[in-house]
Structure 1
């Protein structure tokens, strides 16, 4: 296991694929860790791409600073992490809050992010009052008290009946409450509409037809803020299509990398 010791947090991370390949950085959703991308990593080429994953602050095996967090904190962690491991240019794949991190990072460091995948995310995700209500409920009853409701937003009805869904529920409920709350506060305080509208880079938006957390219309509208972007929608998938429909999800990544970004190794 690898730990990057940053100025404000220790980030757990993993490096797969070709160490000399094109860096592809994956950023996770709220309440998940870097295992979110296991099925995608397994389906991408073993050479030509350097596949980098990390647990954001307060999640997985990373340290958990006291909340509140801001999106600037999370993007700053990511920027410092990439500098520490020597990444000066990358393709960035972000899901949910990971997609928000990607939008802000691309705005702050346009030379760093050469292509951006916005999966199940938005420039603004929900209203502050909704997030504050969730925070209050977690402080009272813990993440466990919201586990079933969150899974309904994450996964299609069919997937929720599978044994695998139990493991994802366990991952969610074992997330440190302080880390989860901190990231909720970061989302609640963020509207990236103006910054994302100013982006000028290749962007692929990916929605899930049954996503209740970031509905397809939100992902489509966010993607459309960037001129020349493309949007695709994955049927029979909720908020985590890389888990429910990994073949389709990875297929869209490969097409984007090859056709829009001219990655020759795909």
Structure 2
């Protein structure tokens, strides 16, 4: 188990693959921990790639300082972590709030992020009223009160009927409520349209055909803010295509690393 002590928080992280390889950093969605990427890590070559993932503050095994959080704080956590573990350039793969962290970090530290994968995310996600309503429900009834609705947004109906889905529901409901609400505040306050429009780096957008949290049009529009970007859509997938369609997701990621970033070690 790896814990890195930052200026304000302890961050849990995990490393797979080649410690001397090209770094690929994965950032999780709201209500998940670094196990979100298990299926993708299993499908990527472990020679030539340094595969790093982490639990953002308030999630997984990272510490949970009092909220509310801001997107700037989450990006700063991520930058500190990467510097401390010796990453000075990487491909950054972010899903949902993880994609928002990636957009902001790429704008703040263009030399750090060589390529960006924006999965099921947006420059702006929802509006403040929607997030405040969710926060109010959690404060009243806990994460259990929103769990079924979240599963509907995360997964297509066939997956929701599997036993595996029960594990994802448990992961959500066991997330610290303070951490979840803190990140809700960060999303509610963030509009990255201006800064994302200024990005100039290889970018791949990935949408899920049945994503009810970040609909394909949101992902497509956000990706299009960055000149030269590409967008792909994964069929029969909701908000977490890396879970429902890992072969397809990993295939798109490998193509991006080889053809867009010209990673020659894989």
TM-score w.r.t. length of structure 1: 1.00
Deviation at 1:264, TM superposition (A): 1.2
- 1:46 CA displacement: 1.1
Secondary structure of the equivalent of 2:64? Answer: coil
Structure 1: 4+ residue segments shifted above 2 A: none
RMSD: 0.4
1:36 maps to 2:27: no
Q: Gaps spanning 5+ residues in structure 1: where?
A: none
What is the Cα deviation at residue 217 of structure 1? 0.2
Q: Is the 8 A contact 2:22 2:265 kept in 1?
A: no
Deviation at 1:22, TM superposition (A): 0.3
Q: Count matched residues.
A: 266
1:109-128 pair list within 5 angstroms: 109-128=109-128
Distance of 1:63 and 1:115 partners within structure 2: 28
Name the structure 1 match of 2:80: 80
**1:195 is matched with which residue?**
195
Deviations 1:66-90 (A, max 9, x none): 0100000000000000111111111
Residue matched to 2:208: 208
Paired position in structure 1 for 2:58: 58
CA contact (8 A) 2:21 2:47 kept: yes
> 2:252 is matched with which residue?
252
* 1:7 is the counterpart of 2:7: yes
TM-score, length of structure 2 as denominator length: 1.00
Kindly state the Cα deviation for residue 265 of structure 1 after the two structures are TM-superposed. Answer: 2.7
Residues 123-152 of structure 1: CA distance to partner in whole angstroms, max 9, x if unpaired? 000000000000000000000011000000
Q: How far apart in 2 are the matches of 1:167 and 1:101? A: 25
C-alpha separation between the residues in 2 aligned to 1:234 and 1:143?
28
Between the aligned partners of 1:48 and 1:253, the Cα distance in structure 2 is 15
What does 1:162-201 align with in structure 2 at a 5 Å threshold? 162-201=162-201
Structure 1 position 228 matched with structure 2 position 228: yes
Instruction: Give the Å deviation of 1:247.
Output: 0.1
Task: Give the match for residue 16 of structure 1.
Answer: 16
